[in-house]
Amino acid sequence: MKVLQCWDDGVVSDVRLADLLRRQRAKATFCLNPGLYQDTRSFGWLAEGREIWRLGHAELKSVYDGFEICCHSMTHPYLTSLTSSQLDWEIKASKDLLEKIFSKHVSGFCYPFNDYNDSVLAAVRAAGYLWARGGKEEAHIFPPADPLAFSPSCHFLDPAFWGKYDRAKERSDVFFFWGHSYELHSEDMWIDFERRIEKISSDDAVEWSFVGDLFV
């Protein structure tokens, strides 16, 4: 079984997450909004009273070194509310910008708020993406009916995480979880999460994969 993980929004707690994942030899995909970075770290929003800060431009390459980069649009809007030229900028110009920042090809897209329709799908297809994360959670996730609506197995805090992992493993399917590093908001959660990643890394029956490696 291949195991995939996606982490969204490019925030400061990704530094700790990336270190943890490197320590545990785990592959991961980070979904970023290149239009929201400033030169230095900047305040993003409040989540349950905690300040969430975005990374600074200059540190992006080193923080995400060795991981897969996915485009999460330029500025994280509801894509279904945009005009076609706005869509093009959010979907295509963002891909170009990420490829320039990271000096590598970006093959995947992730719909902000999981919000998309046929026009958005068409814009993602026209921009040359090979896969996109979106859709409803399904029992069998791979291969998806449309690679531009590739649904994860579950959120990383889903209480049924291990049940879904075991069922995917029995079927030799793909197990794909997602989340935001800022949801790890206590030391206990970080410790529990690292144990989880360690357990997956030491499972001889599975291997970590980048999402894009399934769609080459």
String of DSSP letters for 111-177:
-GGG---HHHHHHHHHTT-SEEE-S---S--SS-SSGGGB--SEETT-TTHHHHHHHHHHTT-EEEE
Q: CB 194 → Zn ion: shortest distance, Å?
A: 23
Helices (H) and strands (E) in the chain, counts: 7, 10
Among the listed residues 105, 94, 116, the one whose alpha carbon sits nearest the alpha carbon of residue 33? 94
Of 1 and 55, nearer to Zn ion (C-beta) is: 55
Q: CB 166 → Zn ion: shortest distance, Å?
A: 28
Of 9 and 173, nearer to Zn ion (C-beta) is: 9
Cα 96 from Cα 129, distance rounded (Å): 11
Q: How many residues does the chain have?
A: 216
The structure tokens listed for 200 are 């997956």
Q: CB 191 → Zn ion: shortest distance, Å?
A: 25
Q: Do 124 and 107 meet the contact criterion of CB atoms below 8 Å apart? A: no
Residues at the site binding Zn ion, with contacts judged by CB under 5 A: 8-9
Of 79 and 200, nearer to Zn ion (C-beta) is: 79
Of 2 and 72, nearer to Zn ion (C-beta) is: 72
What are the backbone angles phi and psi of residue 132, rounded to the nearest 5°?
Answer: -145, 140
Of 78 and 162, nearer to Zn ion (C-beta) is: 78
Residue with the shortest CB distance to Zn ion: 8
Q: CB 118 → Zn ion: shortest distance, Å?
A: 21
Of 32 and 148, nearer to Zn ion (C-beta) is: 32
Q: CB 38 → Zn ion: shortest distance, Å?
A: 18
Q: CB 136 → Zn ion: shortest distance, Å?
A: 17
Residue 104 DSSP code? S
